[in-house]
Amino acid sequence: MIARLTGRFPQGPLVELGPGDDAAVVRAPDGRYAATMDLLVEGRHFRTDWSSAYDVGRKAAAQNLADVVAMGARPTALLVGFGAPPSLEVAWAEALGDGLRDECALVGASIVGGDTVGAEAITVAVTALGDLGGRPPLTRTGARPGDVVAVRGRLGWAATGLAGLSGAVEVPERFVAAHRRPEPPYAAGEEARALGATALLDVSDGLVQDLGHLARGGGVGIALASALVPLDEGVALRDALTGGEDHAFAGTFPADRPLPPEWRVVGEVVEGAGVTVDGGRVERGGWDHFGR
């Protein structure tokens, strides 16, 4: 099935051998690869009555491509594992493949293969590869006291949309669309590198929770100011701080480095540990994969 879905897709310039053989062959000009993998399970990460197959494909690709970009790498290829009940219509799987393909096209990446298996629930596992281009990766460990913390992209849109889909509140359609199909600002990786970022990550589980990774990685504290957090009309501050799945990017930068307006300074790196907002802790924020 994967060969059927991917064989009709164009292959990027770094793909020497695409789907159809025992394995694909993708060139790594740098000699290294950034690699990441995410898993989406029906009923846990998406619902077929809320999202189309095409939306699921776009989302599955986006969250992996964003992780590669956050490492300062150029996305080059995806491998897709697909599990589904035998009753699933082939058209659903084909629409999923279309979504994966179209999201990859935004960054010039290719789908080079994968596998299929019968499963009780629809499951999509995506592995993404990226080329570092001879440069060091952007990691979570470089933040130092005195750096500023800045974000690029939307915050709280997906969480607001999820609340709308669940019937908790009425929200504009743009937020529902953001939950179904995130729009990572893929240019952020190259921008952050050019701006001298000391650390960078993809905001997938909530700004506060993900910045906690930067704090732990650098052995520092991060102090956020709520007045600086970008809030679009209709988004609550808590959703902007703790809502996941927008796939914005957050990084730390030297304080003397001017940042373009697309990057919004939201706080600073300080001595200490953990993340604070206006001097206090945010209780139980961000996505918990095991529901605890």
Q: What residues form the annotated binding site for substrate? A: 45, 245, 287
57: β partners: none
**Count, residues in the chain:** 292
C-alpha torsion angle, residues 102, 105, 110, 116 (rounded to 10): -10
In the annotated binding site for Mg(2+), the residues are 22, 36, 38, 67, 115, 202, 205
Backbone region of residue 38 per phi and psi (left: phi > 0; alpha: psi in -120 to 50; beta: other values): beta
38: β partners: 126
140, 222 Cβ separation under 8 angstroms = no
Distance CA 130, CA 127 (A): 10
Distance CA 152, CA 203 (A): 10
155, 138 Cβ separation under 8 angstroms = no
In the annotated binding site, the residues are 22, 36, 38, 45, 67, 114-115, 140, 202, 204-205, 245, 287
**DSSP string for 129-180:** EEE-TTSPPP-SS---TT-EEEEES--SHHHHHHHHHTTSS---HHHHHHHH
* SS3 assignment, position 125: strand
In the annotated binding site for ATP, the residues are 114-115, 140, 204
